[in-house]
Amino acid sequence: MRHYPTPEDIQKMIDLRQKGLSIAQIVEKMGFSKSTVKRHLSLRGVERGG
């Protein structure tokens, strides 16, 4: 597991979240920690189902 997501990883997190996936589903799919996913989405103001 990588420790730091690339810009492409972050964009994928955003896309998945906007498609309605939960944080837990994104964590499982991408392999990053819950706190990492939540932090990057929060910093960008991304909400579920955007």
1-50: pLDDT as tens digits: 557 999 999 999 999 999 999 999 999 999 999 999 999 999 999 988 75
**The pLDDT of residue 3:** 75
Structure-block tokens of residue 5: 């997501």
User: How many angstroms separate the Cα of 49 from the Cα of each of 14, 21, 43?
Assistant: 10, 8, 17
**The pLDDT of residue 24:** 98
Entry pTM: 0.88
Looking at this protein, which amino acid is placed at residue 22? S
User: How many angstroms separate the Cα of 16 from the Cα of each of 10, 24?
Assistant: 10, 11
